[in-house]
Amino acid sequence: MKDLLWAIPLFPLAGFLINGFLYLRSHRTKGEAAHGHGDAVPHEAPEPAHGDAHGASGHSGHEEIPYKRIHTIVGTASVGLACLFAFGAIFDVGLKALSSGGVHTVTLWRWIPLGVNQSVGHVPGNVGEWVVDVAFRLDSLSALMIGFVTFVGFLIHVYSVGYMGHDAGYGRYFAYLNLFMFAMLVLVLANNFLLMFVGWEGVGLCSYLLIGYDYWKKSAADAGKKAFVVNRIGDFGFILGIFGIFALFGTLDFGKVFSTAAADPARVAPYLTLVCLCLFVGAVGKSAQVPLYVWLPDAMAGPTPVSALIHAATMVTAGVYMVARCNVLFRLAPAALVVVAIIGGFTAIFAASIGLVQNDIKKVLAYSTVSQLGYMFLACGVGAFVAGIFHVMTHAFFKACLFLGSGSVIHALSGEQDIRRMGGLEKRIPITYKTFLVATLAISGVPLFAGFFSKDAILGAVYEAHFEGMPWLPKALWGAALLTAGLTAFYMFRLVSLTFYGEYRGTAEQASHIHESPRTMTIPLIILAALSVVGGWVGFELVEAGNQIKPFLSPILLPLATAASEPEHHELAKELALMAASVAVAGVGIFLALAWYRRGGGRVPARLAERFPGVYRTLSNKYYVDEVYDAIFVEGLAKEGGRVLWEVDATVVDLIPNGAAAVTRGLSWLSSAFDQYVVDGLVNGVASSLQAAFRLFRRAETGRVQNYALFMGAGLFAIVAVYLFFR
């Protein structure tokens, strides 16, 4: 089973090919029948212009979706099989073997086989061997990642069967989703930087395709483009980092790079800060950190299961995964780690404060995701990579549950996404409510729920962190993280209160349609809610041997020659105090949210908004970051800068080509005359004299076979005659 590692990404790839092929087939035949000629009319008729129309269209009036049954089976089964194979491979290698540092590598083929020995870069002692394999690597980190990626992915595929059931683009949707799973698994399983980059770009592409899934809606298409362009900035940093790693180590293989770095840190350490910062730029783009986070809230234009899978649970955590994967390099570059920690901490509190006042259910969750990703980077930044990855996993469970729950709410309300027009859904859609509440408790850090353990691990690590020359920094970051925990609890319970409690505030027409979602949607919700509770129990710090996740993941933390000794296990009282602080902050947040919002809008928040209109407007306009980016980069750099460049070009630069053009024109007039009268005269003269000379011979060429045969016969006769008579 463990040697079938390559089959894990292969199943979704096959699913993508089958679904895509069938979709194109049905699309083409249907398109021709419907339109007669292949014009640009989208054959998926645009839906009514609600926010997220997919879940809403629960009513008839749709024609049968071709191959729907096959799309359903292939789309979900391919991911289900990938999940089975993933767990099969993990248990075949063995949890024990993995947690004691076992690495299982399956090499498929040599991808770049040049193997030329040449010295690369200016780092002394480096001999480059340009060899890259397509190979997959299963160690404790990738095992954890493929485990929850395939499992959560499978649940979301199942959910999509119900959610997208009436969408005309059903096949296209599943094809993209399968392709995404393929790319994500390649990213996670890759055993070298280049293959990881392939997966990295693949998930970016699928993200773009799925955000712009409703391509006829300008907002969705624009959001897709925005995500792609912003990600490109990050990807550029990532690829520069890969160049740097190749220049330093002469290989891209994870194992070789990390063992080389760990064995001989002194040689590479001076260059690693730059390399790690480049890699981190990639992570910032993919994982939506300040300043490149702007694409993620807009990405909510995609269907809700996509938001759950790609923009909450899996793809956006790829940056954290990459930083954790390169932890050996990052630990040798303390300056880069400081940057990681500061960016993470700042993003966490920044996004959480925006989330306080958003009114779109998915936007709240989007900012929450950005904020939680900041948490993970904060953990990595203080060197607690295990805590960061732990939070990646628990976050995948409860955030997927929250997004799918919000999808269920949107489904029930026929596409309504504004929480000001919700309320009172507690009794109407009880399963959605209960699962959503469990996930909310988990993200808020209520004890015994999953988020509590991972968040607590991060907070403890931040508090204990030590930065050279900046003794105040850990405490400041800890304060920010603690405040973020409070804000998170507050805005999540504000969301729950406005959505599920109080009186219903929407239209009567929508109210009559409210219904619980079908079972394909509620069962994934229930499973994810259960995982949001138990998913954190593997990291129970206080009990003896309760923390399973740390020994499991510790093999990814290669021992460093120069590493400072691990901080001693801090005393119990301090740990309990830290825990109590985070629980208290979360409790205050929950209490305030329930007190202010349980009966709908509430007077306190309105009065606060009146009292501090500047603060409120800044928050609800997301600190005007989009506007600033628009002014600087789009209007400023691109348009205004373009205009300036155009002026310079037209007045200064064009003098040169214009002058050159005038000279060239004069010269070319001369050459043209020479050509026309002298050269052409010669050529034409030869031609016409030949034509005149051969006018007579031309007539022999009649084109008739019989004439030629006659000439041949006559010639033969003449030759024979001459031979016979003049012998």
Q: Where in 515-574 is the site for other proteins (CB under 8 A)?
A: none
Pick between residue 580 and residue 712 the one whose CB is nearest to other proteins: 712
Residue numbers 669-698 binding other proteins by CB under 8 A: 698
Q: Which is nearer to other proteins, 512 or 706 (CB)?
A: 706
- CA torsion 526-527-529-535 (nearest 10°) is 170
Cβ nearer to other proteins, comparing 667 with 714: 714
- The helix/strand count (H/E) of the chain reads as 31, 2
Distance CA 172, CA 341 (A): 40
Rounded least distance, CB 713 to other proteins, Å:
6
Residues 240-259 that bind other proteins (CB under 8 A): none
Q: Is 567 or 715 the residue whose CB approaches other proteins more closely?
A: 715
In whole angstroms, what is the distance from residue 141 CA to residue 325 CA?
Answer: 8
Kindly identify the residues of this chain, within the stretch 124-183, that bind other proteins according to CB under 8 A: none
What does the radius of gyration of the chain's CA atoms come to, in whole angstroms?
33
Owner of token pair 């891209």: 252
Closer to other proteins by Cβ: residue 665 or 704: 704
Closer to other proteins at the Cβ: 100 or 707? 707
Say which amino acid occupies 3. D
Q: Out of 41, 702, 721, 722, name the contact with other proteins by CB under 8 A.
A: 702
The CB density around residue 484, as the number of other CB atoms within 10 Å, is: 26
How far apart CA 407 and CA 415 sit, in angstroms, is 9
In angstroms, the CA 451 to CA 443 distance is 5
Which one among 713, 718, 721, 722 touches other proteins, defined by CB under 8 A? 713
Which member of 576, 710, 720, 722 binds other proteins (CB under 8 A)?
A: 710
Q: Which stretch binds other proteins (CB under 8 A): 336-344, 545-553, 630-638, 699-707?
A: 699-707
Where in 317-471 does DSSP place strands (E)? none
CB closer to other proteins out of 679 and 720: 720
637 vs 709 by CB, closer to other proteins: 709
**Rounded CA gap, 2 and 89, in Å?**
4
The single residue among 670, 703, 724, 725 that binds other proteins, judged by CB under 8 A, is 703
* Helix, strand, coil percentages, rounded to 5, for the chain: 70, 5, 25
Task: Check residue 122 and report its DSSP letter.
Answer: S
Among 140-148, 636-644, 646-654, 702-710, the segment contacting other proteins (CB under 8 A): 702-710
As a whole number of angstroms, the distance between CA 259 and CA 440 comes to 41
Of 69, 569, 699, 727, the residue at the interface with other proteins (CB under 8 A) is 699
Return the range that interacts with other proteins (CB under 8 A); candidates 212-220, 261-269, 470-478, 707-715: 707-715
In the complex, minimum distance from the CB of residue 683 to other proteins, in angstroms, rounded to a whole number: 21
What three-state secondary structure class fits 272? helix
- Give the tokens for residue 514: 């409210």
Q: Which is nearer to other proteins, 577 or 709 (CB)?
A: 709
∠ Cα 31 33 36 (to 5°): 85
| Shortest distance, position 705 Cβ to other proteins, whole Å | 6
Judged by CB under 8 A, which stretch of 226-234, 539-547, 599-607, 703-711 contacts other proteins? 703-711
The count of residues interacting with other proteins (CB under 8 A) is 12
Task: Assess contact for 355 and 296: CB atoms under 8 A.
Answer: no
Closest CA to 53 of 221, 176, 214, 174: 214
Inter-CA distances, 315 with 186, 241, 283, 318, Å: 12, 20, 11, 5
Q: 613-617: long-range contacts at Cβ-Cβ below 8 A with a sequence spacing of 24 or more?
A: 616/357
C-alpha 156/C-alpha 219 separation (Å) is: 24
Other C-beta atoms within 10 Å of 538: how many?
19
| 60 is a site residue for other proteins (CB under 8 A) | no
Only segment of 70-78, 211-219, 348-356, 701-709 that touches other proteins (CB under 8 A): 701-709
Taking alpha carbons only, the member of 297, 530, 519, 302 closest to residue 408 is: 519
CB nearer other proteins, residue 670 or residue 692: 692
- CB nearer other proteins, residue 663 or residue 718: 718
Bridge partners, 128 (sequence order): 118
Collapsing DSSP to helix, strand or coil, 324 comes out as: helix
The residue from 60, 512, 565, 706 that contacts other proteins (CB under 8 A) is: 706
CB of 702 to other proteins, least distance (A): 6
Q: Which of 167, 181, 203 is nearest to 53 (CA)?
A: 167
Q: Quick one: 641 or 713, whose CB is closer to other proteins? A: 713
Closest approach of other proteins to the CB of residue 77, in Å: 55
Q: Closest approach of Cβ 691 to other proteins, in Å?
A: 12
Q: Which stretch binds other proteins (CB under 8 A): 440-448, 504-512, 545-553, 700-708?
A: 700-708
Contacts to other proteins from residues 329-388, by CB under 8 A: none
Within 597-626, the residues that bind other proteins by CB under 8 A are none
Identified binder of other proteins from the candidate list 543, 573, 696, 700, rule CB under 8 A: 700
Q: How far is the CB of 709 from other proteins (least distance, A)?
A: 5
Q: Choose between 709 and 722: whose C-beta lies nearer to other proteins.
A: 709
Interface pick for other proteins out of 705, 724, 726, 727 (rule CB under 8 A): 705
* DSSP single-letter state for residue 676: I
Quote the least distance from Cβ 699 to other proteins, whole Å. Answer: 8
Binder to other proteins among 122, 665, 704, 727 (CB under 8 A)? 704
Q: What is the 3-state secondary structure (H, E, C) of 678-719?
A: HHHHHHHHHHHHHHHHCHHHHCCCCCCHHHHHHHHHHHHHHH
Closest separation between CB of residue 197 and other proteins, Å?
58
Cis peptide before 265 (omega within 30 of 0): no
374 alpha-carbon distance from chain centroid: 16
Residue in 604, 606, 709, 722 binding other proteins, rule: CB under 8 A: 709
Of residues 655 and 721, the one with the C-beta less far from other proteins: 721
Question: 3-class SS at 117?
Answer: strand
**Residue placing its CB nearer to other proteins in the complex, 571 or 701:** 701
Report helix, strand or coil for 332: coil
Listed in sequence order, the DSSP H helices in 413-507 are 430-444, 450-464, 472-500
Closest contact distance (angstroms) between CB of 686 and other proteins is 19
Taking the complex as a whole, how short is the minimal distance between the CB of residue 695 and other proteins, in angstroms?
Answer: 10
- Smallest gap from Cβ 723 to other proteins, in A, equals 17
Q: Which is nearer to other proteins, 665 or 695 (CB)?
A: 695
The answer to whether the CB of 404 falls within 8 A of the CB of 528 is: yes
Q: Applying CB under 8 A, which residues contact other proteins?
A: 698-706, 709-710, 713
